[in-house]
Amino acid sequence: MDSLTQIVLGAACGEIILGKKIGNKALLFGAIGGTISDLDVFIGRFLYSNEIQAMVFHRGFMHSILFSILGAFLFGRITYKLYNSGKRLGTTIQKDWIWLFFLALFTHPILDCFTPYGTQLFAPFSHYRIAFNNISVVDPLYTLPFLICIMVVLFLKRTNPKRLKWTKAGIYISSAYMIFTIGNKLYMDAVFEKSFKKAGIKYQRFSAQPTILNNILWYAVAETKDKYHLTFYSLFDKSKTANKIITVDKQHSLIDMTDKNLKKLAWFSNGYYNVYKKEKVGTYKYTDLRYPMINPNDANTSLFNFTVFFENNEWDILPFEGDSPTKEDFAKFTERFWGI
């Protein structure tokens, strides 16, 4: 999920392990631990000059169970050695720090698994990406109550037992909401399945996920032999099925998707993508159809699209190379949120 959410969850982990011993510093170190995995965004760009390879590196090994274990021992030992000196000598033990970083590192990819982006939890042994698709990458109803609880903890003394109660309250509230999103996902999958069957679309598979910032308006993409079918459904809709479905061509044959970099790009999209020629010769528009459009009525308003080009003997991309959404697009999104 987004960085703020991971910071809040990491801070909660820090408070649970070391809050009684070091107070608000535990929140700080937990927040740092909850952020470490997402540094792969910057590390990927440092390691790879190719944008596709750098993008695929994100939510890879640094989001795995193995990294959580190795990182816990590495960062735990280093932090303990640096912290356990001077007036702080003997106030903590190394085991506490290892547990703090393990919880912060481990809960980070576990939480990411619930989002549509996908997480290589078992890397490097398997590059299968786990994505339950039940919550948006950014969802205020998950984050804000949790954040408020952690902020309350900041103003309580280290020895105050209410610190732990407020931390647990944040965890319980966010977890309850997560359970709701899982149930909502099962319901929405059933709605979209009925919708595609009602429309006479004999799909090979489909994927459904919530739109950004909420769990009310959902989006689904169904795959047939040569096309994708896109639709939205809101919990506020009067109909029991999604009735407006947009169809787009796959056009996968426009470029050689057997190329190693383009295969990685297709893998990143879980096979849900389409390709169009652009005006400039040798460039193509690649749209990741797992993610919804801003304007539910216009397939061209997807933000998750790239310009694909061949340079230096390899395929590469310019990310998010599309027209900026207009006020009208956002208005259509808001309108669709409230149902039809």
Average pLDDT over residues 283-312: 94
Partners of 316 in the beta sheet?
A: 309
Average pLDDT over residues 140-145: 98
Residue 67: is its pLDDT beyond 90? yes
Residue 152: is its pLDDT beyond 90? yes
Average pLDDT over residues 158-176: 97
User: Residue 241 and residue 333: Cα distance in Å, rounded?
Assistant: 18
As given in the structure block, the two tokens for residue 76 are 């735990």
Residue 323: is its pLDDT beyond 80? no
User: Residue 32 and residue 9: Cα distance in Å, rounded?
Assistant: 11
Question: How crowded is residue 197: how many other Cβ atoms within 10 Å of its Cβ?
Answer: 12
CA angle 100, 106, 110 (to 5 degrees): 145
Average pLDDT, the chain: 96
pTM for the model: 0.95
Residue 93: is its pLDDT beyond 90? yes
User: Residue 54 and residue 45: Cα distance in Å, rounded?
Assistant: 5
pLDDT tier, 322 (very low <50, low <70, confident <90, very high otherwise): low
Give the rounded percent of residues in the chain with a pLDDT score beyond 90. Answer: 95
pLDDT recorded at residue 65: 98
User: Residue 124 and residue 66: Cα distance in Å, rounded?
Assistant: 8
Instruction: Give the tens place of pLDDT for each residue, 205-246.
Output: 999 999 999 999 999 999 999 999 999 999 999 999 999 999
Tell me the residue type at 151: M
pLDDT recorded at residue 109: 98
Residue 133: is its pLDDT beyond 90? yes
Instruction: Give the tens place of pLDDT for each residue, 9-29.
Output: 999 999 999 999 999 999 999
The candidate with the shortest Cα–Cα distance to 137, out of 330, 327, 13, 304, is 304
User: Residue 150 and residue 138: Cα distance in Å, rounded?
Assistant: 18
Residue 88: is its pLDDT beyond 90? yes
Per-residue exposure over 108-132, b if at least 16 CB sit within 10 Å of its own CB, e if not: bbbbbbbbbbbbbbebeeeeebbbb
pLDDT tier, 321 (very low <50, low <70, confident <90, very high otherwise): low
pLDDT recorded at residue 320: 73
Contact by Cβ (8 Å): 152, 193: no
